[in-house]
Chains A and B, each alone.
Chain A
Amino acid sequence: MANTESKSSLIVPGDATASCWSCGTMRATHFCSACGKVQPPVPVDYFSFFGFPRKLNLDAALLEKEFYALSRRLHPDVFVQSATQERSWSLEQSSLLNDAYRTLKDPIKRTEYLLRLEGVELEEQSKQATEKARATGELKKQVVPPDLLEEVFELNMHLEELRAQKKMGEDDPALLEEIGKAKLSLEEKNGALFSELKSEWKEWDAAVDSGSEDERKTIRDKMLDVVNRRNYIRNLLRDVNEAIES
């Protein structure tokens, strides 16, 4: 299955301005800014965890720098002498750190995470659309565009044929060529979708600064559309490669 990350991994923004448990002054997200003690993790989203705005064009070098700096400070070795409580907080903080880093580093995961933060239930889209169609008696709007479905279906038929042939020890150069062509076209599409997504990131980031809620929603939905199509293509490419190599 494509989306293994569950909704429950989503951390909602919380109050990061509470006071430090140790010295009582204002604390930061990870360590107290006054006394330097590790803090219990506060419920923040991954962007806030790194002190980033909720934007998609992200400075990868900065993210990496922050990640390594925090990893070092949260490393278990640093806490061998500390109280049990602090040790467990540092562990929690560092697992959060790893999740946040892995999610934000990957452009697609980052986009999907943001979509979730913005209220999209990636795993529920189909069901919601079906319920709506049922209630209104209208035809359901397919989340995936029909022409892409058609292509996916055709290619799957070819792949099935290829697998059957391989089992019989036959091979059909024409079929392989057909599949090879389809693979190229899928890779092209994949690339094109990624560029499309990147240009939407720009729009999104601009809208975070100065857009209305409606504008943000529109861009959000456009990004969702691209992510959905890309999932299809990615799964298909995986199947194509498996079938060719098997």
Chain B
Amino acid sequence: MNNKLNRRNFLKISALTGGGLVIGLPALNSCTNPKEAREAATSWTDVNAFLKIANNGEVTIKSPNPEIGQGVKTSMPMVVAEELDIPWEMVTVVQAPLDLENYKNQWAGGSQSIKRSWNVLRMAGATARFALISAAANMWSVPVSELVTEDGKVLHKASNQSAHYGELLEAAASVEAPEEVKLKDPKDFKLIGTDVKNVEMANILTGKPLFGLDYKVDGMLYARVIHPPAFGATLASVDDAAAKAMSGIAHVVKFGEKVAVVGKSSWEVIKAANALKVTWNNPPKPESTEGHVAEMRRLLGKKGEVRRKDGNPERAFRQADKVIEASYEAPFLPHNTLEPMNFFAHVTENSAKLVGPTQTPERAMRTAMSITGLKEDQVTVEMTRMGGGFGRRLYADFVTDAVEISHQLKLPIKVIYTREDDMTAGTYRPAFQYKFRAALDKDGQLTAYHQRGVSVNGGHVTRDLNIPSGAVGNVLLDSHVIKSEITTGAWRSPTHNFLGFAEQSFIDEVAHAAGKDPLQFRLDMLENAKNNPVGEVKYDPERCIGVLKLAAEKAAYGKAPAGVFQGVALYFSHSTYVAQVAELVMEEDKPKIKRIVTAVDCGIVVNPTGAINQVQGSILDGIGHTFFGALSFKGGKPEQNNFNQYRLIRIPEVPNVEVHFVKNTLDPTGLGEPALNPAPAAVGNALFAATGERWRVTPLGADKKPGVVELEGRVG
């Protein structure tokens, strides 16, 4: 990405203040940061789409992307503040609404927010700073080159003159801000790379309304939607007499295959929806986990669609000294954001106001347009903070619910899902399986690699740019897709979230079969990729080696005391490199995870405290789901619908997670997902070291005797 700003995206200061200052906005936005004692702001000037400056020098930065817990509402404004050279205490952050004219990539997915906006955010701050410096130069008749910025002020040290940014706004109005200015050298960063706490801290800690579920307006009614119990089922008839007779119930609304109960309070609609008597037409082909698993296993024995081929894998396998083969299996997973799906819509004849937790505000807008026939400029979308995303809120099914109901009733409607509604109407992580084969020559060199994938409604699950592709002369990747009525979608690091486990466990199997140390085996492969790359290589072998070595060093890999078992894994995804060493101890014949040592190369770490939180959270998320996560189906119906039947990782099961970052000045890449992917394999490989058994089916141990493995963390 180049550093050029799209001119349309940035109002020049001259253009904006030419129309007059925005007078009299009270400083009510200043709830996030305690301000130093300073005169209250009485006027604000919009400088560009990302920031406005008050006459007292305070700055409000608009955070464009949805905040789902990944921390972008803190880290993205930090980047703007860095280039503007404004102390963080003088910054207030607000969430920008959907604004297609001014922002690009206003969504949260693929760990892309920081990576894609890095240069735009920097330029937003830098061009504003440039205009302020130029204004001071004009005012004081000194050359720009003699001016510096510090603490939200422009200084001319030689003449001892200074002015805070608020004092320069008027003069800056006549400055022609260029599209591109010089950005800071990363070594001069003052804010980036320091720990900045969650901007919403005070509001979270005192229970202020922040989330979609907290949003209310006068006259708003609540709605609970009943969806078909089985995937593929359709609505036959509804007897709503009992529900309608219940207290607080105002309407019963049908749309698509769904029925909604609308009423005055959450509890009243939750109860009344249970009183609906709905008849459903059963799905023509009810699906079951048993059926899916059998069909996937069958297809793994058949040639699939070729996704990558290097060299002559068939011949290499024929000539192999040793062939290693193994299959890995994963179930469907619900997202289970702790805040269940919910959304607010108020549709009138000529407008629609949408408010709520969405990772894709533009999709929400388009959904409303297609249901109501309204035009783009008649629909507004505001994003609330989200109680988790993990990919679930990329979809618009819950937006559809709210808009459909509000469109029919022309009332402000808040749709709420119970946990049961949420878990049984998912866009699940698809179930998938892999079969791997590796060919070794008589020296234990990897000569061919074959990966075959199959998914239920998950598209092609082979990843042609993954290691070891590029590092071995003969590669074959092929795959199958099974169609299904079950809705699936992106779940934190789609495909990689299980491929990381499968592939990095299998590599371990191959290393052991070759009689090599699993770490050294990986390093050797990467040397191959570096020196003799085969086909397309997207990962940087050097950065892979860097994280592997850092993790190994920090974990004292290979030097563990007796009774401590180590497993290593490496994964590259979302442009970020992660390696991990997991350590287990055996206590009373049961393995316990002691710690996970992680090395991450994501380029510049914008906000280390937030980054560590993300890395630790994703690792524990990955481990938790690998040990416990499974959503099964019978007759097309999910068999688990709440946390009494669906287990998530809890505090007693959590091991220590140590996080180390590779220090460099490369442009930053994302952290919401990548650290999840190698963690389950690092643990599985350590389990192999401890038990001599291979763990190939998730949830772990599902294919073994009950009680063989339990997840128990040991902190300290």
Does B associate with A?
Answer: no
Residues of B within 8 A of A (CB): none
